[in-house]
Structures are given as C-alpha cells and as structure tokens.
Amino acid sequence: MTISMDFRPGPLGDQDCRDCPIRHRAVCARCEADELAQLEDIKFYRTFEAGQRIAWAGDRMEFVASVISGVASLSQTMEDGRTQMVGLLLPSDFLGRPGREIAPFDIVATTDLMVCCFRRKPFEALLEATPHIGQRLLEMTLDELDAAREWMLLLGRKTAREKIASLLAIIARRNASLQQQSMDNGLSFDLPLTREAMADYLGLTLETVSRQMSTLKRADVIELSGKRTIRIPDVHALMAETGDDADGGVLA
C-alpha cells in the first residue's frame, strides 16, 4: 500500500478530483462534473502516520472521509482488553457514517494514511440533494456488508491456517486490482499489518499468527523477505488453503 507518487495534495484541498486515484471507486464514483464540483467545494485532505489514532470509540466525529492511500482499521475492545478488528479500510473505502455523530469503534491508521474528508453536516446535506452520492454509498455499504459476512464465516468456522491464507488472499487481491499487476509470476506485496493487527483481524493470538505464517512458509505457499514483504509464488496454491470454493472469483 504505497502512497501514490503523483498525488500529493496540500492541506487545502487544492488538488483536482479528476487526478484522484480513487475517483472512480469511491463515494464520488457516480458523480457528474457538476456534482463533483459541489463535493470538491467541501473536501479537504488529511494525513495520519502509521499507528496514529483517528478516533476512540465514543468520540465525536466531525467528518466522514474516503481513504485515498494507506490502510485504516476499525476495532472493538472489551473491558478486559480483548480486541477484535471489525473493519479494514483500504483505498477507496468510506470512513464514518452519515447521520451519526459518535464513532462506535476505535479508528486507527495502521499504515501512513491519506484521506479525503468532508465535514459531516455539509456532506449529509449533499447526500439528501444528490441521489448519485446516496446510491453509490448504498452500493458500497452493501458490498461492505457482504465482506463482513464472509469475515463472519472466517471468524466462526475457519482454522487458524485457513484464516491466515484468507487474509493474505484478501490483501493480495485488493493490491493486485489496485495496481493492475500481472500475476503470471506470482504476486508480491507488503503486508500493511503487524502480527498483532493480523491476530486482531482473525480472532487469534499473535503467537498463533506467527506460527501459521511459519508453517505456510515451510509449505512453500508464501515466501517472506524481511517480516513484511510477501511473495505468493502460486496464487492457486494459496487459494486452496483458504477453505473457500476453488474459484470464488478470479483475482483482479
């Protein structure tokens, strides 16, 4: 998840939406030129450093936003400290909920992060006035609900090994589609998560994550250079480890 080199807006939102790398995938995807201009009026950019907290559960949220680059996560923590990640926001994903002031989850930048923000109130007004935004948001929310449901299958029924393989497949897929990478010689990418964040995503402990990464490496399903750089020599071999149906959608 590298920050794209050709999109470096200043803090004032002075960058043209037409050059935006997520222009055709984010909430604004369906907007016509005039609608886009209205969004452009109320947008501003913000960046967060890896590890920085964007909001605590219970905080007031003054904005909603689209992720431009980097990764953010939503998580819930129980009183005794048990933590479960409940959302992983990759570029083009939408952060926040119109019509709600209070964040129900902790929101953290897990890598360096750039987001395109809209103050909540003006955005809500625009949502009422501009059907294309609401329609796209509905579509994205339904997609997220589908993803949440696959995630529920993972949490409830998959083995530790299947969980790891599934997570790697999800990130590899998103990464490949974003970068239009060919997968003839396998795929490479940087894991945007620590072992602990992976554990929180998968409902495991970090020790189990580490052990399963090691066994997948020993089984030649993955190759590691350093701790975070991963190569998948054979995508089908990885898919076979996820427990999902053979061809649950081709990569890309």
Contact between 200 and 84 under an 8 Å Cβ cutoff? The reply is yes
What is the spatial distance between Cα 163 and Cα 84, in angstroms, rounded to a whole number? 14
Taking the least distance from each CB to a copy of itself, the nearer of 137 and 191 is 137
Asked if 52 interacts with a copy of itself (CB under 8 A), we say: no
Which amino acid is residue 225, in one-letter code? Answer: S
**DSSP summary character for residue 17:** G
SS3 176: helix
- Mark 69-98 with x for binding to a copy of itself (rule: CB under 8 A) and - for no binding: -----x-x-xx--xxx-xx---------x-
Which of 99, 100, 94 is CA-nearest to residue 60?
A: 100
Asked if 157 interacts with a copy of itself (CB under 8 A), we say: yes
Which of 27, 20, 108 is CA-nearest to residue 66?
A: 27
What lies within 8 Å, CB to CB, of 24 at 6+ separation is none
Outline where 95-130 has alpha helix (H).
120-129
Interacting positions 146-185 with DNA (CB under 7 A): 159-161
Binding part of the chain for DNA, among 14-22, 23-31, 40-48, 203-211 by CB under 7 A, reads 203-211
Asked if 122 interacts with a copy of itself (CB under 8 A), we say: no
Q: How far is the CB of 86 from a copy of itself (least distance, A)?
A: 4
Interacting positions 36-75 with DNA (CB under 7 A): 51
Taking the least distance from each CB to a copy of itself, the nearer of 69 and 75 is 75
Instruction: Please give the residue ranges that form the binding site for a copy of itself (CB under 8 A).
Output: 74, 76, 78-79, 82-84, 86-87, 97, 99, 104-105, 128, 131, 134-135, 137-139, 141-142, 144-146, 148-153, 155-157, 202-203, 243-245
